[in-house]
Amino acid sequence: MTKMYVVRHEKFATGAFFLDRDEAEAMARTLAEQWVGVGILDRDSDSGLYVTELELGHVYADLEDKLDL
């Protein structure tokens, strides 16, 4: 099965899907830097962003649950 990597945040409603883990991790770092730049996060705090690895079939099931389809 195809794997996907999801950038998520523990509090904010944000997410991005990638087929490459390195790209997902780079996006998480970029978001954290941007959020520090605009004052959403403190530079010394945990960003709350994380990358989750999912198999493609599980992504659809997860989205259906969250969207109540």
Count the helix, strand and coil residues of the chain and give each as a percent rounded to the nearest 5. Answer: 40, 25, 30
pLDDT digits over 7-28, tens only?
Answer: 887 777 667 888 888 998 898 8
- DSSP state, residue 17: E
* Number of independent structural domains in the chain: 1
Q: Around Cβ 31, how many Cβ atoms within 10 Å? A: 19
Domain range for residue 48? Answer: 3-67
User: What residue spans of 7-55 are helical by DSSP H?
Assistant: 21-37
Is the whole-model pTM more than 0.85?
no
Q: How far is CA 37 from the centre of its chain?
A: 19
**pLDDT at res. 53:** 84
